[in-house]
């Protein structure tokens, strides 16, 4: 089987999984939400980017922002991007969108963006 065929099938499956997840994660009751982020990189680490690559902003450091329902053990939302305030806000907006009301308790590593 050709590599492109496999990648196309995976992309279609990912889109379907996203649609299913969006339809199931509505009006979720959450009392405790844990917020965390995990570092990775795309292509190469930020410190190894040349000036042109830095301007493109598609390579380098990437952060996976995660909102996790601590009681039911469900990943409520995730955002992939830089470690900046707009991404933290996007994560919390996604939590707000899928929950009946904002959780009573948020716990995090006290990152300034939260």
CB 95 within 8 A of CB 33: yes
In this model, does residue 114 exceed pLDDT 80? no
Q: What is the pLDDT of residue 14?
A: 86
Report pLDDT for 45: 93
Domain boundaries, the chain: 28-107
pTM, to two decimals: 0.74
- Residue 36 exposed, middle or buried by CB count within 10 Å (0-12, 13-18, 19+): middle
pLDDT at 66: 96
**DSSP letters for the chain:** --HHHHHHHHHHHHHHHHHHHHHHSSSB--SEEEEEEEEEEESS-GGG--HHHHHH-SSEEEEEEEEEETTTTEEEEEEEE-SSHHHHHHHHHHHHHHBSS--SEEE----TT-
pLDDT value at residue 41: 92
Instruction: Identify the band that residue 108 occupies on the pLDDT scale cut at 50, 70 and 90.
Output: confident
**Per-residue pLDDT, 75:** 92
pLDDT tens across 2-39, in order? 888 988 998 899 889 888 877 778 888 999 999 999 99
Q: pLDDT, tens digit, for every residue of 42-78?
A: 999 989 999 999 888 889 999 999 999 989 899 999 9
Which tokens go with 46? Answer: 């930020």
CB distance 32 to 105 below 8 Å: yes
């Amino acid at each position: 089987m050709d590599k492109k065929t496999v990648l196309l099938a995976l992309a279609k499956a990912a889109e379907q999984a996203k649609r299913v997840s969006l339809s199931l994660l509505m009006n979720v009751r959450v009392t405790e939400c844990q917020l965390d982020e995990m570092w990775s990189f795309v292509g190469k680490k930020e410190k190894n980017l040349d000036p042109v690559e830095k301007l493109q902003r598609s390579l380098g450091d990437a952060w996976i922002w995660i909102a996790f329902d601590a009681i039911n053990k469900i990943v409520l939302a995730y955002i992939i991007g830089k470690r900046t305030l707009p991404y933290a806000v996007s994560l919390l907006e996604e939590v707000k969108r899928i929950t009946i009301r904002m959780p009573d308790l948020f716990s995090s590593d006290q990152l300034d963006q939260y």
